[in-house]
DNA sequence: TAGTGGTCTAGACCACGAC
DNA sequence: TCGTGGTCTAGACCACTAC
């Protein structure tokens, strides 16, 4: 047996005691290539977040409680939580506890909104929705969002301004099925907060592809620049906690007094 | 005393046994706000790398040896090394050891060169140096590189191509004093490798600011596009292991068949 | 077989926050 | 005062690499 002390102090765990996303288990003799215990713990905790056991902003049980419940040592739970803290999906506060990360404005500003004023200040732009439509996705949209061919999507087009001046014009594409009723209510500026609160979908990671392009006629008009003016095109695909693509966003940004900040570490 | 077991198994360490970058010490009763031990270990190890005790590619002593030498536990050394591995300044290989990270082409390609072909392939462009000059830095250059006013700098201008087609035209500014004789030898494609091997300066981190701009006449000519064509302007400031700015690089990139890839995690 | 990093445990004390 | 996460230690066993 690869985990000799398991039955020592506490009674042995039965995986079925809890929810289907069960307690982690060592593979004992099975042919499976077993992941480290702390990664199994991590996945158990993430699964619970996906399932809504703990909502954003809520505290997780303490390390000691989690360790007892899952039948592992506190150190193993700690390693899992430390890794999750490094991924920004959990926030740890000494003396208080460990909390599911929220998509508040601060997090958006530092993790997901890379456009910074040339003065170095991080501003959050206002935004105005220009239109919402439901449609069958194009081939590109369905491919990006891992939907079946001609799957239903939701498209949102909005203009984002700073100090009244146009800064970004963008089109977002979402899987329609994942966000029922989204088109029927006003769309807030902080969309990721809405995804989390209303739909229990947490955006944890995104991939952005940038190009410099000349503004087409429509884009130029919306941004109040001449057609062909240089524009930063940002193509973002956002993923939820379990790795599902959740949103495809193509933004045309003016960079005359803002820049895209990227830290290479 | 805050570290009771220090004299247990091994003989107590004397900081002066080794080099001036001494072993970490707990502050015992002093008014100093002491950093955690594992961070002191980390800084000791980084200092040794900066001082050239271990060159890139070379193995560090084993965790056990470092722990004994520094008078801390193996777990503390491990935490320091794990953090350094996460920062890409060290590479750990099970069964072999821990090595100072090298600036080989692979690292450049994944950590510092964010331009990726639209097909998803990571290509490393060829490069041709157009000119090298020594001069007194402009106000902007001296400010960026933390040099005194009118400090001496080295400027390198080069054209980077892929499959023979122009891709990037860039100007690099370096503190002249930091790289003596650099202008007198041919400049390799992989500059960070040269900084490390010849000058013992390791670039560990960089900050990039991106804008979309219209190509000016000179840039357009070099990149073989029309003046005013949209170009991705990448302004990079690179820092060495100890946080000193080492290189300022302004690149104008064509993004018709390449894009800048940014992972938001 | 010996040595390395990787995982896991157990237990101690500290710093911080809430009460 | 108590409970939390943060640090540090000590020691066990495993997986991989080299010889």
CA distance A67 to B201: 44
Residue A32: pLDDT band (50, 70, 90) is very low
**Kindly report the CA angle at A242 between A239 and A247, in degrees rounded to 5?**
25
Residue B128: pLDDT band (50, 70, 90) is very high
pLDDT of residue A48: 97
Q: Report pTM.
A: 0.89
Per CB-CB distance under 8 Å, the chain A contacts of B114 are: 262, 264
Cα distance from B86 to chain A (closest Cα, Å)?
A: 9
Per CB-CB distance under 8 Å, the chain B contacts of A260 are: 209-211, 262
> In this structure, are residues B238 and B173 in contact, taking their beta carbons and an 8 Å threshold?
no
Q: Do A265 and B205 touch (CB under 8 A)?
A: yes
Q: Do A112 and B264 touch (CB under 8 A)?
A: yes
Strand order in the sheet with A152-162: A126-136, A152-162, A165-175, A245-253, A230-240, A203-214, B258-264, B115-117
Residue nearest to nucleotide C6 (CA to C1'): B94
- Dihedral sign for Cα A37, A39, A41, A44, please: negative
User: How confident is the model over A217-242, as a mean pLDDT?
Assistant: 98
CA distance B237 to B64: 37
User: How confident is the model over B88-94, as a mean pLDDT?
Assistant: 98
Give start and end residues of each alpha helix (H) in A74-128.
Answer: 74-86, 105-107
Q: Among A210, A259, A264, select the one facing B259 at the smallest CB separation.
A: A210
- Dihedral sign for Cα A158, A159, A162, A163, please: negative
CA distance A99 to A61: 9
Give start and end residues of each alpha helix (H) in B190-235.
Answer: 191-199, 217-223
pLDDT of A4 above 60: no
Residues A89-121 pLDDT 10s: 999 999 999 999 999 999 999 999 999 999 999
Cα distance from A124 to chain B (closest Cα, Å)?
A: 17
3-state secondary structure A103-148: CCHHHHHHHHCCEEECCCCCCCCEEEEEEEEEEECCHHHHHHCCCC
| Cβ-based neighbours of A231, under 8 Å, separated by 6 or more | A212, A213, A214, A215, A219, A223, A225, A252, A253, A254, A255, B212, B230
pLDDT of residue B95: 97
Residues A136-162 pLDDT 10s: 999 999 999 999 999 999 999 999 999
Residue nearest to nucleotide C16 (CA to C1'): A95
> In this structure, are residues A246 and A102 in contact, taking their beta carbons and an 8 Å threshold?
no
pLDDT of residue A30: 38
CA A167 to chain centre: 23
Q: Among A87, A112, A230, select the one facing B230 at the smallest CB separation.
A: A230
pLDDT of B199 above 50: yes
CA distance B237 to B245: 7
pLDDT of residue A165: 96
Q: How far is the CA of B80 from the C1' of D17 (A)?
A: 23
Residue B33: pLDDT band (50, 70, 90) is low
Cα distance from B234 to chain A (closest Cα, Å)?
A: 9
Q: Which nucleotides of D are covered by protein (CB under 7 A)?
A: 3-11, 13-18
Cα dist. B141→A206, B157, B181 in Å?
34, 15, 20
pLDDT of residue B34: 80
Show the tokens assigned to A46.
Answer: 């993430």
Q: Do A264 and B214 touch (CB under 8 A)?
A: no
pLDDT of residue B9: 29
Q: What is the DSSP code (8-state) at residue B256?
A: S
Q: Which nucleotides of C are covered by protein (CB under 7 A)?
A: 3-11, 13-18
A209 → chain B, closest CA residue: B261
Per CB-CB distance under 8 Å, the chain B contacts of A112 are: 264
pLDDT of A18 above 60: no
């Amino acid at each position: 047996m690869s985990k000799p002390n398991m039955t020592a102090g506490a009674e042995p765990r039965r995986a079925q005691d809890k929810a289907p996303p069960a307690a982690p288990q060592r593979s004992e003799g099975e042919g499976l290539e077993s992941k480290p215990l702390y990664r199994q713990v991590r996945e158990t905790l993430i699964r619970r977040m996906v399932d809504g056991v703990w909502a954003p902003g809520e505290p997780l049980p303490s390390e000691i409680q989690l360790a007892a419940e899952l039948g592992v040592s506190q150190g193993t739970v700690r390693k899992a939580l430390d890794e999750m803290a490094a991924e920004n999906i959990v926030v740890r506060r000494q003396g208080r506890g460990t909390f599911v990360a929220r998509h508040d404005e601060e997090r958006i500003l530092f993790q997901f909104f890379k456009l910074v004023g040339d003065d170095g200040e991080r501003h959050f732009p206002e935004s105005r929705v220009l239109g919402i439509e439901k449609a069958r996705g194009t081939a590109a949209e369905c491919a990006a969002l891992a939907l079946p061919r001609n799957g239903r999507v939701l498209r949102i087009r909005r203009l984002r301004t700073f100090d009244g001046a146009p800064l970004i014009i963008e089109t977002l594409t979402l899987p329609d099925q994942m966000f029922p009723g989204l088109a029927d209510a006003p769309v807030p500026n902080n969309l990721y907060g809405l995804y989390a609160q209303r739909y229990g979908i947490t955006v944890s990671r995104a991939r952005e592809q940038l190009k410099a392009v000349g503004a087409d006629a429509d884009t130029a008009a919306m941004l109040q620049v001449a057609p062909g003016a240089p524009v930063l095109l940002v193509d973002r695909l956002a993923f939820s906690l379990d790795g599902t693509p959740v949103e495809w966003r193509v933004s045309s940004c003016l960079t005359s007094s803002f820049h895209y900040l990227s830290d290479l570490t």
